[in-house]
Amino acid sequence: MNAPALVFENLTLGYDRHPVVHHLKGDVAEGALLALVGPNGAGKSTLLKSIAGELRPIEGSIRRCGDVAGRFAYLPQQSAIDAGFPITVADLVAMGLWRDVGLFGGIGRTGRRRLAEALGQVGLEGFERRPIGTLSGGQLQRARFARLLLQDAPLILLDEPYTAVDAQTVGDMAMLVQRWHAEGRTVIAVLHDLEHVRQHYPEALLLARETIARGASREVLSIANLERARHLAAAFDEHAPVCHRHAEAA
């Protein structure tokens, strides 16, 4: 068994003190390839945001351990990026080098070589000067994966990485994810295509505001577990009381 990369300790997450993920416990081992699955509104993206440090817990904690303690790469949903922003593909991808060069440093010869290699690995050779607004959805996602390559992180977080992209891009980027896994990196992805999860992800965590099942993907994604997740998600009360312990602390 590998050492844990992440540890969830009675983790409760939410917005305006209304819980979205309840009392999550457990860990994710170093080198895991884990799919987060569940109905819409189940808390999957919320959990990923919290792992990335963008959302503070209401209760409990997340611990990033070992190599991942200070180094991770996060790919939010594609809708989070403004494709009309006036930057080039090279500008977007080069953001992956900021840890090495700083926010205002030049990338230099080595950085340019790494950038070109990353673009080549995602099939975007020659796209450096293209404005991102001219890219298709699949091309833009390839550029965002190239940025992840430059971050060279031991923990990679992917939020719906294959939404609204073509089948060829899905296949190519899935191969890249498998390569990261083979390199021993920890990869956690929010995914909706359950057959893709069964084929490519050895582990799955099924959420519906709380943990429904965790373990081998083909066992987790049973009809009974999926029905229970749908039932709990449908029964969730959007007007439930706030977490009073947090309200008192605030």
* pLDDT score for 29: 95
Query: Residue 237: is its pLDDT beyond 90?
Result: no
The top-scoring range by mean pLDDT among 11-20, 145-154, 231-240 is: 145-154
pLDDT for 100: 65
Q: Looking at the domain assignment, is residue 102 inside a domain? A: no
> How many other β-carbons are positioned within 10 Å of the β-carbon of residue 9?
15
238 to 36, 58, 111, 135, 232: CA distances (angstroms): 22, 17, 48, 38, 12
CB within 8 A of 52, min separation 6: which ones?
Answer: 72, 74, 157
Window from 77-86, 120-129, 193-202 with minimum mean pLDDT: 77-86
The reply to whether 62 falls in a domain is: yes
Instruction: Convert the pLDDT of each residue in 130-183 to its tens digit.
Output: 999 999 999 999 999 999 999 999 999 999 999 889 999 999 999 999 999 999
Q: How many C-beta neighbours within 10 Å does residue 91 have?
A: 15
Torsion angle (degrees, nearest 10) of CA 144, 200, 170, 79: -50
Q: Is residue 178 part of a domain?
A: no
Q: Judge whether residue 247 has pLDDT over 60.
A: no
What is the band of 106 on the pLDDT scale with cuts at 50, 70, 90? low
Q: What is the pLDDT of residue 81?
A: 75
- Token pair for 11: 């983790």
Q: How far apart are CA 206 and CA 210, in angstroms?
A: 8
86 found inside a domain: no
Return the closest-CA partner of residue 115 out of 93, 99, 139, 98: 93
Predicted local distance difference test score (pLDDT) of residue 241: 47
**Domain assignment of residue 13, given as a range:** 1-71+192-250
Flag whether 112 is in a domain. no
Contact indicator for 88, 135 with CB cutoff of 8 Å? no
Q: What is the pLDDT of residue 248?
A: 37
What's 59's domain CATH number? 3.40.50.300
22-44: per-residue pLDDT in tens?
999 999 999 999 999 999 989 99
Q: Is the pLDDT of residue 245 over 80?
A: no
What is the number of structural domains in the chain?
A: 1
Q: For residue 4, is it within any domain? A: yes
pLDDT band at 250 (very low <50, low <70, confident <90, very high): very low
Is 95 among the domain residues? Answer: no
Return mean pLDDT, the chain: 88
Residue 230 domain-assigned?
A: yes
